[in-house]
Structure 1
């Protein structure tokens, strides 16, 4: 990749200090200088870019929760399509989940298969999570976790309830304990899909087209019980624990208390929990099915409050696509449809559309999707527009309205819960280490965890 030396002039540049006029100088793939607009760069530049009056220069977003699914289920999604879709939405770094690929990233061999499948296909930078499953989390079986850690995974995902795929089993309470002790011992990170299987087993079965029935089958008590277990494990073992895709606002007091006690706990939520609501989901609309589920408007308002209060650390997509037939769109049966929302490309626009209606500033919303996930994952040189960071940039037009058309999105299969939505704020250009990303870009790198503060 040839990285040019150039300057970007803009009236609105988002840095950690806020939005103000700057000239940003890029050289050797990094941000060399951030100057007052119009100031002379300290290096000779090859060309200059002047943003339009309606554009803002943002740091490239970080999405630490993406299911790419390749190898093994590349018909669901793949590295080429996922990374191109991400770039269209201003995402310059993603971290791939250890399922639903075959093999899963639960062994060093599985990680090698992932990296081999990604080779030469990446439009943006990609890292990998490992997985904690019964095969590597029981007594005397945790050596593979440490080996994966040594090979650069960013942490370990565990399910407390069935994952939906046979090759990635959920952990019993004892296995969770064993994994947490092992991960804490080598300084790793445990990230958890927190739904309690016993609560789910006691909940009403879901079959048919009624979204209310599906919602009743995944009650918030399942999340609350599971999050309480994660907090207890983190408190006892000292493991750095992260709650994935929080949808239940009823769990927020538990999280607040744990934080006040100093438990090493971070939390994410997703655009679909912040912009959609159960009351507006039509029966039979299985493109909205995800686990945990999209809950009601009052719950959504509480998630927004927790974000603004800093109780939730970041917003990530949980892009979990499948082929259209697995969503059972023809029958609309929530009981049998695959659970997962495809929103990788439109996350920033969806969040900004809702944020601006709530009086939330652009810099606050962008931080949840850039520096927030970078900090949680321990990424270095990503997620902030600062001197010395990778020149990962997005040109965003925050006042431009546009309709979402699932068939025009870049991910592999044309299914999305945002299909037909009227959003505001469009990404017009994306740069990875100073090179503009287009439909043919393959300059993304596979990145590894680096220890030390991000």
Structure 2
């Protein structure tokens, strides 16, 4: 007897959108039948999606800063995973910094894993971190199941996660290649930013000048050279400079194992619309001009950019310095885990893209990049992580309704399209009033 049967006139699958009956047993999708096929035996009545609803796979967000333990007032596993479930995200992979200790050693990984106990509403995995002096720790972390390693090429903003210099990056990439792992890189060049004007005051234009496109372009060129030399798989995090698209495109054409992501805020906002003192828009690298935004959309459309993830990086409101509006001193990061799907779908549909495209960018590709072979698609054999979306329904972002621990968000007051009505994890609807059922994931799950 099946655990769950869902019938929908619109189901987004890897082969496009179709009407289908989705059969779930023991948390996995076991059959995709025609919509009008006689339903198999099921414990309860089949779930019939409304005419205005579409069934999607649960999204996979591989760029989330949960911050617990150590900076739990910024965010935590309870609030982050509740926000994820509300936003149609059923798997997150947590970044190795902003928590204390960082995930640069086995002890740091164990501290993260223990912190999740009893408070994850979605499935959670972890990146390891590569910082100076920890090359010997990469192998044990890999064996313990991290999905790869993150490094910075300039100061990260927290002292316990320092950057790699050129020599350290080359050494780490050689080890990552030996392990058959993946290095994900915050690619901004330190020297370029050191020589840019320092940011200060409430004008966004000043902050934008402090993080020039050249900083990203130079760092990505260096990363490409080292990927070629070491044979390592590398991934460019939160690409914001459209000037770097030809560099990424050429590396792929050469056959290098390089991928790139961008984020909802780079696809939604533009520098021209950021008000003075609105530090909720500060992130690094920065939101750039409208023309740059449209070029990023074009990069997604032609496959130069592989995936879209949130880089959910919240902090406590005081660290945003909303009282002074000083872009030089405010923490850089945008909270959007609950809103990523709606933000991207709003922009995608306005540019003629389909939900199939959005699912490829936000579910399929992130799952593939992380090696989560059971995630990211409505397909036989995959985990029954599913989302019921009303793609034409609109809402205005009310920060008070967000599950994020801190309610500061650049999306406040913005009208978005696409409402998540239900989220299923392993074939069971996520109930935020019931005990959480999320699992800890290891590489290969």
Q: TM-score normalised by the shorter chain: which range applies?
A: over 0.9
Shift of 1:38: 2.3
Over residues 351-375 of structure 1, what are the superposed CA-to-partner deviations in whole Å (9 max), with x where a residue is unaligned?
1111111111111122100001111
Residue pair 2:2, 2:42 contacting (<8 A) in 1 also: no
Matched, 1:444 2:438: yes
Contact 1:348-1:366 at 8 Å conserved across structures: no
User: What RMSD in Å do the two structures reach over aligned CA positions?
Assistant: 1.1
- What is the CA–CA distance in structure 2 between the aligned matches of 1:26 and 1:321, rounded to whole Å? 36
Map 1:51-450 → 2, pairs under 5 A? 51-136=49-134, 142-440=135-433, 441-450=435-444
Q: Which moved more, 1:215-224 or 1:369-378?
A: 369-378
CA shift, 1:42, in A, is 4.7
Q: What residue ranges of structure 2 are gaps of 5+ in the alignment?
A: none
Query: What secondary structure does 2:208 align onto?
Result: helix
Q: Tell me if the contact between 1:407 and 1:415 (Cα under 8 Å) persists in the aligned partners.
A: no
2-structure distance, mates of 1:47, 1:67:
39
Give the alignment's TM-score, normalised by structure 1.
Answer: 0.96
CA displacement 1:122-146 (0-9 Å, x = unmatched): 000000000000121xxxxx22101
Say whether 1:22 aligns with 2:20: yes
Secondary structure in 1 aligned to 2:99?
Answer: coil
User: 1:75, 1:323 within 8 Å by CA — same for their partners in 2?
Assistant: yes
How far residue 41 of structure 1 moved from its aligned partner, in angstroms, is: 4.0
**Equivalent pair of 1:24/1:31 in contact (CA under 8 Å):** yes
Structure 1 runs of 4+ with >2 Å offset: 40-47
Deviations 1:60-83 (A, max 9, x none): 000000000000000000001000
CA distance in 1 between partners of 2:217 and 2:235 (Å):
14
Cα shift readout 1:398-430 (whole Å, capped 9, x = no counterpart)? 000100011210110010010100011110100
Following the alignment from structure 1 to structure 2, what is the Cα–Cα distance between the partners of residues 259 and 356? 27
Per-residue deviation, residues 127-171 of structure 1 (Å, max 9, x unmatched): 0000000121xxxxx221011000000000000010000000000
Stretches of structure 1 lacking an aligned partner (at least 5 in a row): 137-141
Aligned residues: 444
Instruction: Give the alignment's TM-score, normalised by structure 2.
Output: 0.98
Distance 1:304 1:184 in 2: 31
Deviations 1:221-268 (A, max 9, x none): 000000011111101000000000000000011111111111110100
**1:281-335 CA-partner distances (Å, limit 9, x unpaired):** 1010000000000000110111000101011110000000000000001110000
Assess if the C-alpha contact under 8 Å between 2:147 and 2:182 holds in 1.
yes
